[in-house]
Amino acid sequence: MAFIPIFVTLCSLFVLREAFKWLRMIAKARSIGLPLVFVPIDQTNFLWIFFASRHRFRLRRLLPSWLWHRISITIPGWELFEPSNPHQRNLAGRVDSRETSFTLVGPRSYEFWTADPQLSNEILRRIHDFEQPRELEFLLAKFGPNVLTANGDQWSRHRKIVAKVINERISKAVFEKSIYYSQTLLHDLLPTSPAKNSSIETTMLFDRLTEISFSILIGVGIGDKFPWYNEENQEPQPPYQMAYKDALLTYVNNAFGLAILPPRILNHWPSWAPGHAKMRKVGRSMTEFCMRNQSLIDQEQVRIAAGETGESSPPDFLTLLVQASQGGNGDKRTTLSQNEMISNLFAFTAGGYKTIAGALDFAVVLLARFPVWQDWLIEEIDTLIPDAEDAAENLEYTTIFPAAIRTLAFVLETERLYGSASRLFRVSSGPQTLQTSSGTTIRLPAKTRVHINVVALHHSSSWKDTNHESDPAHYKPITSIPDEARFRPSRWINTAGSPTLHFHPPRGTFVPWSQGPRICPGQKMAQVEITTLILCLLRRHRIEPMRVQGETLREVERRLDAELRDLQWAGIVSLEKGPGLGFSTSQRR
């Protein structure tokens, strides 16, 4: 019987300890000085994140509305499914000039959320005060730190080297690869005839653009060091068991899932356990990606040691990365290790592929949904490329891309409303002081989890009624939708006489590629690729939605609007493409 008092005492001590920790956490959260939003679920729990993000809509149907409204903001991606200013609901009834910021408090942790442009700008500018979270290492740093995951002096070293690599030579290579692969992989979906009346209906456009995007990234990433583009038709050469493209695609598609586990666990997953084949395949893809690129780096280092600079050959990311790192003469402060090079190559490929492919999906639907903007782009494209018969390989990056003003504006507006990042996550390295747009000072304790609500920033009133003078004459806005929530690419084009061609939003209001010193190094590369592929799609053709029998124009518009609202979040934002979502591509010249 003596056991019972001991057990009760231990339980009491445990409860008291947890209560003390919770009260101390509440005190820290209150010290920030912002409204507190309490939730009954630990929003940082991995199992909850994994489960809830996959069953969001089922939970919404099953749970009482009062409970759903309380826990929905603990599910990653909640900011996509709220009103244009999702903070207002959580702060309903409170009169507070800081309504764009609040503190989310769960049972075990608290988080600071903001959609204040001034705070966003400060947080992203102060890279040593607000660091990348450790969680990112599990996703993108399996082989070692890279420019996306590193912090402090380590990040500075990576950034200096990567900045030398992703330059105008890479942008030019992206432009040329985009044209090449669009010709190679889209020819059957963009039919032409002497009569100029060819057309086709297809549901394959999304898949083909995804394949093009992936091929561009591999081509720019490793070049033509070996015939990776033909490997799928051949048996892999020992010691490899997978084609390079298959291994990389498998790894990238599972980066936010199974690939979180170490390769040694995946490669030795028991044959009797569920998911054995999938686990082994993902593990093998990670192992082979590392092996392949170790071999390529070794070859490049041997070539450089032999004095072969290769300036005349098309540049690729891996070659330039090795060359930039070799320039440090062995000084670890100015070079990257082999594993760090592989890690940066993976970040370059994985980050670029998912975000660019997602943007292309949205761009195609938007072209079909808004013919007024497609006509606007076609008008520019016909001016840039007046001769439709001119060979695509004759198009020059330095001539075409800088003049594609409207097409780039279309890309920027797509990123504003449908960008891949719905939030930006940082962690305060120590106690920090910030000032809000209203002039109020707030203080964040050390190790505070900080989230910038990108969706709310991109829908803020600062975007309202910008550059209406640039709207096409035949543009008729949907008056039931606020201007800041409308898809209106012309807002990005300044009027004649302005110091810049494109509109520069106020700091902290446009952050699809982040902002400040840690802005995505591949921003220009992504803009070049998406812009060039839109030019290739519309150069001779027009894209229209494939209609269901008997469907009216208004019904088509409603269906496409519903598709644009049907989003999913799995680390990044993407379109939940419904079955049968197809397009008609018709030759126009």
- pLDDT tens by residue, 313-356: 678 899 999 988 876 565 667 789 999 999 999 998 888 888 99
Whether the ω angle into residue 239 lies within 30 degrees of 0, i.e. cis, is yes
The answer to whether the CB of 485 falls within 8 A of the CB of 82 is no
Tell me if 181 is assigned to some domain.
Answer: yes
pTM of the model: 0.93
How many Å separate Cα 334 from the centre of its chain? 29
Note the pLDDT of residue 329. 60
- 267-281, 362-376, 388-402, range with greatest mean pLDDT: 362-376
Tell me if 371 is assigned to some domain.
Answer: yes
Tell me if 469 is assigned to some domain.
Answer: no
Share of residues in the chain with pLDDT > 90 (%) = 54
In degrees rounded to 5, what are phi and psi of residue 113?
A: -115, 140
Share of residues in the chain with pLDDT > 70 (%) = 93
- Is 99's pLDDT higher than 60? no
Note the pLDDT of residue 390. 66
Tell me if 32 is assigned to some domain.
Answer: no
Tell me if 326 is assigned to some domain.
Answer: yes
- Is 369's pLDDT higher than 90? yes
Note the pLDDT of residue 93. 41
Note the pLDDT of residue 548. 84
Q: What is the mean pLDDT of residues 532-548?
A: 94
Tell me if 305 is assigned to some domain.
Answer: yes
Q: How many CB atoms lie within 10 A of CB 77?
A: 19
Confidence category of residue 131, pLDDT binned at 50, 70, 90: very high
Q: Residue 378 belongs to a domain with what CATH number?
A: 1.10.630.10
Note the pLDDT of residue 309. 65
Confidence category of residue 374, pLDDT binned at 50, 70, 90: very high
Confidence category of residue 140, pLDDT binned at 50, 70, 90: confident
Cβ-based burial of 572 (10 A; exposed 0-12, middle 13-18, buried ≥19): middle
- Is 94's pLDDT higher than 50? no
Summarize the chain as % helix, strand, coil (round to 5).
Answer: 55, 10, 35
DSSP string, 503-560: --PPTTS--BTB-GGGS-TTHHHHHHHHHHHHHHHHSSEEEEEPPPTT--HHHHHHHH
Q: How many CB atoms lie within 10 A of CB 375?
A: 14
**CA-to-CA separations, 584 to 184, 185, 201, 252, 367, in angstroms, rounded:** 19, 17, 4, 30, 12
520 is in an annotated binding site: yes
* Residues of the domain holding 228: 156-418+520-587
Tell me if 430 is assigned to some domain.
Answer: no
The answer to whether the CB of 102 falls within 8 A of the CB of 113 is yes
Confidence category of residue 5, pLDDT binned at 50, 70, 90: confident
Domain count, the chain: 1
